[in-house]
A and B are shown apart, each in its own frame.
Chain A
């Protein structure tokens, strides 16, 4: 079946560096993508989303890039801070039901 997956389960970066978290999807009909941040023991927090008619969208310190040709999504975090340490999930949506399918997550650890 269709799935959303992440390339790396863990990512460690130095404080102040930029982080890039990748996500691959297999459903070519997916037309909406969303990134969530989940801190330990808490619910996922919306970060940024993008529709398939765009290839880039920027927020505060975050940028999402969408490459529909290779079905790849990435989240870039600029000047990574200790508070950015969390699990990051991508999710995709398609079809009339508009349900989200979630990846398994990437643990981002920010090193001092």
Chain B
């Protein structure tokens, strides 16, 4: 069964304190792993797509990496404006049109 699990559920950091969010997944044949950012009261916004183990993508203070079982979202020297919920999603296996989301990690960065 396709599954996505994110940890931790919540993370509090001081401004400038780097850390990583984890997304563990199981799928029969990875066809895409996605990271989205969601601000309170808004819909998710796309960040990255990863397709194969070893792949990395970067945007400002964020870097997403992928292994055969996990993806990490590394946040370097975060700022308060990075506070949000970060969602990991997986394209379901087989010929499906389904995206499977994890529960999300809520990040709070304090000044």
A complexed with B = no
